[in-house]
């Protein structure tokens, strides 16, 4: 089945996690990484989740899941070992057209959580459509070695320069050439080798060729 891959903006959005075990804890961490507002519903919590509640990092209602828990939720994840609870969450979300993921039960999901390599704004998502999370994790671990922290630094470096070029270079052909030069094979090879000194030298050379003036003392 074909799936439409998107990147959701969760900043400030209320996300509900049903369950308080280790799986739920991992889901909560991943949501907090996206600056989501997280509410957890469960009779019990792991020590780490309890610490998050005490530090006011997440909201918490102790008890069994109720349909009313879906109020104002943008996204829902059910991570319990109770099949009946998971079924109820899935049905309630379907009725309300909410996006929902049921851990380890692909048939009840309308979205799947990919394994993600994050390097600042740079991210690579790996999905198996819920068929093999372990395979997705294995590939993620390999990609984490290939794409180190320098890729996040690189993306931050070119982001503002790219906008300046887009807005200030009127010749579309020249604009395209400059932008392509900033991600040339030469620069990618330097980046792969963590040679950020050479990466910056080549990027600012391409940037200066646009005729724009580096801002904030860059270059």
Residue 74 near residue 10 (C-beta atoms within 8 A): yes
pLDDT tens per residue, range 45-94: 999 999 999 999 999 999 999 999 999 999 999 999 999 999 999 999 99
**What is the model's pLDDT at position 212?**
59
Rounded CA gap, 211 and 162, in Å?
13
- Token couple for 66: 């109720």
Q: What share of the chain is helix, strand, coil (3-state, %, to 5)?
A: 45, 15, 35
**What is the model's pLDDT at position 192?**
94
Q: Tokens 């991943």 belong to which residue?
A: 30
pLDDT tens per residue, range 8-54: 999 999 999 999 999 999 999 999 999 999 999 999 999 999 999 99
Q: Look up the CATH number of domain 14-113.
A: 3.40.50.720
**What is the model's pLDDT at position 148?**
94
For the beta sheet containing 99-102, the strands, ordered from the edge strand earlier in sequence to the opposite edge, are: 59-62, 37-42, 14-18, 75-78, 99-102
Quote the pTM value: 0.77
At residue 219 the predicted structure's pLDDT band, cuts being 50, 70 and 90, is: very low
pLDDT tens per residue, range 94-132: 999 999 999 888 889 999 888 899 998 899 999 887 788
Residue 109 near residue 130 (C-beta atoms within 8 A): yes
Rounded CA gap, 206 and 200, in Å?
10
Q: Look up the CATH number of domain 114-146.
A: 3.30.160
pLDDT tens per residue, range 167-202: 888 889 989 999 999 999 999 999 999 999 999 999
Kindly list the domain boundaries of the chain, sorted by start residue. Answer: 14-113, 114-146, 150-208
**What is the model's pLDDT at position 112?**
87
Q: How crowded is the C-beta side of 171, counted as CA atoms within 13 Å?
A: 7
Three-state DSSP class for 60?
strand
Q: Give burial (CB, 10 Å; 0-12/13-18/19+) of 134.
A: exposed
CB atoms within 10 A of CB 102: 24
């Amino acid at each position: 089945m074909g799936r439409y891959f998107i990147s959701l903006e969760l900043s400030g959005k209320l996300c509900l996690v049903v369950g308080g075990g280790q799986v739920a804890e991992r889901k909560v961490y991943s949501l907090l990484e996206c600056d989501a507002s997280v509410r957890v519903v469960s009779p019990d919590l792991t020590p780490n989740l309890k610490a998050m509640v005490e530090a006011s990092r997440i909201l918490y209602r102790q008890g069994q899941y109720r349909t009313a828990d879906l109020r104002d939720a943008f996204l829902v994840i059910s991570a319990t070992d109770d099949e009946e609870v998971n079924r109820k969450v899935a049905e309630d979300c379907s009725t309300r057209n909410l996006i929902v993921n049921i851990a380890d039960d692909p048939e009840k999901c309308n979205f799947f959580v990919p394994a993600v390599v994050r390097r600042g704004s740079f991210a690579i998502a790996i999905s198996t459509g819920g068929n093999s999370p372990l395979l997705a994790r294995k590939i993620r671990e390999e990609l984490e070695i290939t794409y180190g922290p320098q890729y996040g630094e690189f993306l931050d470096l070119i982001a503002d320069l790219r906008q300046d070029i887009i807005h200030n270079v009127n010749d579309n052909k020249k604009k395209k050439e400059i932008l392509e030069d900033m991600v040339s094979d030469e620069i990618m090879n330097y980046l792969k080798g963590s040679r950020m000194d050479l990466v910056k030298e080549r990027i600012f050379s391409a940037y200066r060729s646009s005729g724009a003036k580096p801002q904030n003392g860059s270059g």
